[in-house]
Structure 1
Amino acid sequence: MSEPQETVDTRGDERVDLLKMDTNKDGRTDLWAADTDGDGKTDLYQFDTDGDGKVNVTMTDLDEDGTPDQVVDGDGGVPPTA
């Protein structure tokens, strides 16, 4: 049985991916930067750190000051868009 996943708080309920990148050039996205409140600024960051195509680390920047307010393992309950 798997452990329950920790969830993150976001600024809003929508998700607009502002950036998707393949940083290690393996052909799959491993970095997502998303806006969740419609202001055009990134407040959700997600990383695939082991190349399996799944989010391993999620960070939120609720006050959008450039410093993470919350860091959790996994997708934080906010899976990336395809």
Structure 2
Amino acid sequence: MSEAQETVETRGDERVDLIKVDTNNDGKPDVWAADTDGDGKADLFQFDTDQDGKVNVTMTDLDEDGTPDQVVDGDGGHPPAA
């Protein structure tokens, strides 16, 4: 049985991926930076650290000061679009 993942709070309800990066050249993104409140600044950051195509770590920066406010395992309730 799998454990429930923790959900992170974001600044807004929308998601616009500002960057998607394929760091290991396998053709699939493994780093995402998203804007959730429409101000054009990233406040949701996600990482696939084991190259399985799923988010392993999610961080939010609610005040957009460059310091993570919350870091959780998994997608934090905000899976990237395919």
The bucket for the TM-score relative to the shorter chain is over 0.9
- Alignment root-mean-square deviation, CA: 0.5
Helix, strand or coil at the partner of 2:62? coil
Cα displacement (A) at 1:31: 0.4
TM-score with structure 1 setting the length: 0.98
Q: Which runs of 5+ in 2 are unaligned?
A: none
1:23 corresponds to which residue?
23
The number of residue pairs the alignment matches comes to 82
| Mapped partners of 1:38, 1:25: distance in 2 | 30
Q: Which runs of 5+ in 1 are unaligned?
A: none
Helix, strand or coil at the partner of 1:45? strand
Cα displacement (A) at 1:2: 0.8
1:3-82 superposed matches below 5 A: 3-82=3-82
TM-score with structure 2 setting the length: 0.98
